[in-house]
Amino acid sequence: MVRVALREIRAHLVRFLLSVLAVTLGIAFVTGTFSLRALLADTFSAIIASTTQGDLYVRGVETTDDDASPTPEPSPPEGAAPPDQTAPPDQTTQQQPVGGGTQLLGPQRVSVPLELVPDVAAVDGVEQAVPDLLGTVVLVGADGQAVVNGQAPSLGSALRENDPSGTLVQGRAPRDETEIALETTALESSGLAIGDTTHVIVGSGAPREVTVVGEATYGNPMVGTTLVLLDAETGEAAFAPDGQLPSIAVFLEEDADPSAVAEEIRAELGDRDDLQVVTGETVRAEGTESINQALGFLGTFLLVFALISLFVGAFLISNTFAMSVRQRQREFALLRAVGASPAQVMVTVLGQAVVVGVVGSAAGVAGGIGLIALVRAWLARMDMELGGQVAISPLETIAALAIGTAISVVAAAVPARRAATTPPVEAMRDDVVVVERSLHVRAAVGATLLAAGTGAVLWSVREATADAGTWLGVGAGAVLIGTLAVSPVIARAVLRVLAWPFVVALRPVGRLARGNVMRNPRRTANTSGALMIGMALVGACSVLASSAEASTSSIVATEARADFFVQSATRSVPPGASAAITSLPEVGRADTITSGRTTVRGPGDAEGDGVGVLALPADAFGETIDVETTAGSLESLADGEVAVARTTAVDRGWAVGDELRVSGPDGTVSMRIGAVIASQILNAPVVLAESEFSRAVPAGQSTIQSLFVDAADGVSQAELRAALDEAAEPYLVLTVQDAEELSSSLAEQVEQAMVILYALLALSVVIAVLGIVNTLALSVIERTQEIGLVRAVGLGRLQLAGTITVESVLTAVFGTLLGVAVGVGLASALPSVFAEEGLTELAVPWTMLAGMILLSGVVGVIAALWPAARAANLPVLDAVTHE
């Protein structure tokens, strides 16, 4: 039976190659996901290993609500620690909307005094004790513009002579504030060279001219991060102005015993129980673990799209085997008649499915590795070079092969069972009549799923609780599967309407095409089902994108009342720029939005959690910003109370009047909740008055996210804009926007994010198109004799090709209409469910959806080219006598 299965594959090679291609595309996505995750993990792990080379580290313990001073820890790029940066490696960054800034996630630690560095360096066995210095820097490139590589940060650190963590490639280390060195990636992306003069803005300072005197490397690509290296004195003044450090990196002499030296350092620290000495291996292990956790989400996100593509591909495979079994009913009956058992016949069909799965999966593994190699090369051209090797582990390879093969076998199971249950007596008949099962059971199941799914979706909309998203997801899945189940039942009615223009305009082509697609609604529905899934997802994403853009515009229009908004491409406005703008005579009011992070313990909490906090003048509300107050009063901020976000209050059970214990620089302070707010601009758990910010966040740990600026009396908008542009120009990375420009820029960010989703979903649409091609090609084979007869009675080649093309167009448009209807219907529930996350408006892009339906017609024409040409070129006599 195995030989029978292989012979059938050789006899119908094109049919099976299309099925193999569907599996290949899906598995390539799965393999690419595995490979990309491994590549990123290797890259960032290597960065952590090369930039945390210390043998020991002196750092603070994790803060609780009784600790006095959390450590200032600027966020490394995507979890990678810069030179000597040993802030807890389990921190990652999360980008917030306007006013939210870059928030640190993970434990806060007690700071380490800079004055301890000489004491640690004097311990026997210590070769060097290097303070970890890191902060924001703006570098001006050779083109006179700030160097900005996408979302990658621009950071500054210190480089000393004979620095054990970095290696000078050429030149020398900087010696004073007029000199800098650049990491290799930064040197290349900036277009600068050794000896060039340029400008930098370090921390809160003003732009100053510097000379590039050296190039340094840390052994691995920095993934787009712009790393500027300063001399030690300048670095300490800029990044540790309060004399506090995240940690101290300790490098030991060659023969020193790490355990003994660690004990001596602990003794040197005396009674400082809030400081600890840990090994470099511990720090690097923490970093690797945090990277794996962060990349786990990315891997899951991409894997979902890969499985969607495989699910769509399963329709192609199932259709292929169903039509193959239908054409070979007599062959299977003859096999049964000569002694083959039902199990052997079933093994024959499933054996072919195994071949499809194994070959397709193997090709997909190779294709996925090649795909990631292309992605890596593309990122390298964008100055975001990744390290490591493009490969997947043997276990992941086996998993990919197993997934592809399992999906192929499952998709072929029902056709295989039908082949196995063909009665041998069928072989005695001159023609084989395939009796289709009733659609009543399928319709009942589909209707039940549709009703249950719709009920779950409506429940999620009506009861906007914490579980609403889960209900929406379950309901959406049930609706999608229910629609697939009932699609054959509604196919005849819908196709009759869709075919009407063709019947009227194209005679007799339209009538023939309508009869062909309506004759077997199950096959038509199955063929269009793959496209329906893809278009449902695309339609839902288009509604999501339009709603997000509309919500963003609504938020800006509702909450932002300032004349202009000043923000930075590095997400950090230099304090000097803020002072310069505030002092302009054209400015009547300039409210600064400042962000930071601290540890907060609410009533009933056993321990505190690190949360992001925002600060702005207490009297800014109603002037430059207007937010919804759901409880309490924002006037209480002027009295030292705080406002909390409504989502945070619900999640943690906080209410107006509750006392929060906040770990500030001078110890734990109590702050009363005076208001609960619902705001998307102030997207942080806790908001407090500017005057209270220093009680919650230590100096040096705050970041100015943006400024909201109003014109002075008698100053026109044009005059204020000109003054702001002039004040911002020296700082290079600042942008001045009015409300309309701010709304447009935020909408553009949404569009950029959605482009990625559309690109991922395009793969499922490509597989769906392959399904249409395959089904039409098999249909041509199945109807060879019929085609010969209609040609014999006078139907021309072009008319026949037109009939096949109209069939394809009807199938594609049917699937697209169903998909768009389901996608738009489900996506319409999103604003109600996710209103708290900022999705407050529903916007349906009708023009885009209409374009998708028209495009599906074009897709149908393209999909029909090969099958139509094949049908038109069939010799009439051979077709008439075909069996």
In angstroms, the CA 248 to CA 265 distance is 11
Please check the confidence at residue 703 and state whether its pLDDT lies above 90. no
Please check the confidence at residue 81 and state whether its pLDDT lies above 50. no
Q: Could you tell me whether strands 275-279 and 56-60 are parallel, antiparallel, or unpaired per DSSP bridges?
A: antiparallel
Same domain, 287 and 420: no
Same domain, 536 and 609: no
* Residue for token pair 């712009």: 226
Residues 6+ apart with CB under 8 A from 133: 84, 157, 158, 232, 235, 236, 238, 239, 240, 245
Same domain, 791 and 869: yes
Within a domain: residue 445?
no
> 739 phi and psi, to 5 degrees?
-60, -40
Within a domain: residue 374?
yes
Which pLDDT value is given to residue 588?
Answer: 93
Please check the confidence at residue 427 and state whether its pLDDT lies above 70. no
* Residue for token pair 């640190």: 104
Do the beta carbons of residue 192 and residue 175 sit within 8 Å? Answer: no
395: exposed, middle or buried (Cβ count in 10 Å: 0-12, 13-18, 19+): exposed
Same domain, 244 and 310: no
Residues 6+ apart with CB under 8 A from 846: none
Q: What band does 79 get if pLDDT is binned at 50, 70 and 90?
A: very low
Which pLDDT value is given to residue 6?
Answer: 64
Please check the confidence at residue 328 and state whether its pLDDT lies above 80. no
> 274 phi and psi, to 5 degrees?
-85, 0
187: exposed, middle or buried (Cβ count in 10 Å: 0-12, 13-18, 19+): buried
DSSP class of 65: T
Token pair belonging to 546: 């339009």
Amino acid at 109: R
Q: List helix spans (H) across 560-686.
A: 575-582, 646-652
Q: Which of 345-349, 427-431, 618-622 has the lowest mean pLDDT?
A: 427-431
pLDDT, mean of residues 4-21 = 68
CA angle 364, 368, 372 (to 5 degrees): 170
Same domain, 556 and 658: no
Within a domain: residue 672?
yes
Do the beta carbons of residue 108 and residue 696 sit within 8 Å? Answer: no
Which pLDDT value is given to residue 192?
Answer: 93
In angstroms, the CA 454 to CA 464 distance is 16
Q: How many domains does the chain have?
A: 4
pTM of the complete model beyond 0.75: no
> In this structure, is the dihedral angle defined by the CA atoms of residues 137, 138, 143 and 148, taken in order, positive or negative?
positive
pLDDT tens readout for residues 713-722: 999 999 999 9
DSSP lists the bridge partners of residue 277 as 58
Same domain, 286 and 305: no
List the domain range (segments joined by +) for residue 693: 564-737
Amino acid at 855: L
Amino acid at 480: L
Same domain, 727 and 609: yes
Same domain, 195 and 77: yes
Within a domain: residue 506?
yes
DSSP labels for 174-194?
--STTEEEEEHHHHHHHT--T
Same domain, 625 and 541: no
Same domain, 572 and 537: no
CA angle 353, 359, 363 (to 5 degrees): 140
Which pLDDT value is given to residue 9?
Answer: 63
Residues 6+ apart with CB under 8 A from 527: 315, 319, 771, 772, 775, 811, 815
Within a domain: residue 556?
yes
Which pLDDT value is given to residue 36?
Answer: 76
Residues 6+ apart with CB under 8 A from 751: 545, 549
Please check the confidence at residue 151 and state whether its pLDDT lies above 70. no
Which pLDDT value is given to residue 869?
Answer: 87
Buried b / exposed e over 643-673, threshold 16 CB at 10 Å, is bbbbebbeebebebebebbbbbbeebbebeb
Q: Which of 116-120, 148-152, 639-643 has the lowest mean pLDDT?
A: 148-152
DSSP class of 609: E
Within a domain: residue 471?
no
Same domain, 63 and 24: no
Buried b / exposed e over 731-759, threshold 16 CB at 10 Å, is bbbbebbbbeebbebbbeebeeebeebee
Please check the confidence at residue 245 and state whether its pLDDT lies above 70. yes
Q: Which of 150-154, 590-594, 609-613, 747-751 has the lowest mean pLDDT?
A: 150-154
Buried b / exposed e over 300-324, threshold 16 CB at 10 Å, is eebeebbbbbbbbbbbbbbbbbbbb
Average pLDDT, the chain: 80
Q: CA of 639: how far to CAs of 622, 625, 679, 692, 825, in Å? A: 17, 19, 21, 9, 48
Task: Calculate what percentage of the chain has a pLDDT beyond 70.
Answer: 84
Which pLDDT value is given to residue 223?
Answer: 65
In angstroms, the CA 83 to CA 761 distance is 39
Which pLDDT value is given to residue 108?
Answer: 64
pLDDT tens readout for residues 586-597: 999 999 999 988
Which pLDDT value is given to residue 651?
Answer: 82
Q: CA of 190: how far to CAs of 36, 145, 187, 229, 771, in Å? A: 27, 9, 5, 14, 48
Do the beta carbons of residue 454 and residue 361 sit within 8 Å? Answer: no
Same domain, 765 and 847: yes
DSSP lists the bridge partners of residue 226 as 154
Token pair belonging to 702: 């705050």
In angstroms, the CA 7 to CA 76 distance is 59
Please check the confidence at residue 687 and state whether its pLDDT lies above 90. yes
Please check the confidence at residue 69 and state whether its pLDDT lies above 50. no
Do the beta carbons of residue 63 and residue 109 sit within 8 Å? Answer: yes
Bigger pLDDT: 178 vs 240: 178
pLDDT, mean of residues 743-758 = 75
Which pLDDT value is given to residue 550?
Answer: 85
Buried b / exposed e over 165-184, threshold 16 CB at 10 Å, is bbebeebebbeebebbbbbb
pLDDT tens readout for residues 723-732: 999 998 888 7
Q: CA of 45: how far to CAs of 51, 84, 163, 257, 787, in Å? A: 10, 15, 21, 26, 63
End-of-domain residue from the set 259, 292, 325 = 292
The 3-state secondary structure of 392-409 reads: CCHHHHHHHHHHHHHHHH
Residues in the chain: 883
End-of-domain residue from the set 257, 292, 327 = 292
DSSP class of 1: -
User: What is the C-alpha end-to-end distance of the chain, expressed in Å?
Assistant: 23
Please check the confidence at residue 413 and state whether its pLDDT lies above 90. no
Q: Which of 19-28, 153-162, 215-224 has the lowest mean pLDDT?
A: 215-224
Secondary structure (3-state) at 282 = helix
Which pLDDT value is given to residue 10?
Answer: 67
Please check the confidence at residue 760 and state whether its pLDDT lies above 70. no
Residues 6+ apart with CB under 8 A from 465: none
End-of-domain residue from the set 431, 451, 477 = 431
Give me the torsion for CA of 52, 53, 56, 58, rounded to 10°: -30
Q: How many CA atoms lie within 13 A of 675 on its CB side?
A: 23
Secondary structure (3-state) at 511 = helix
Residues 6+ apart with CB under 8 A from 126: 120, 250, 251, 252, 253, 256, 261, 265
Secondary structure (3-state) at 596 = strand
pLDDT tens readout for residues 271-296: 888 889 999 888 888 877 877 776 66
Break the chain down into helix, strand, coil percent, rounded to 5: 55, 15, 25
Within a domain: residue 513?
yes
pLDDT tens readout for residues 626-671: 988 999 999 999 999 999 998 888 888 899 999 999 888 777 889 9
Within a domain: residue 480?
no
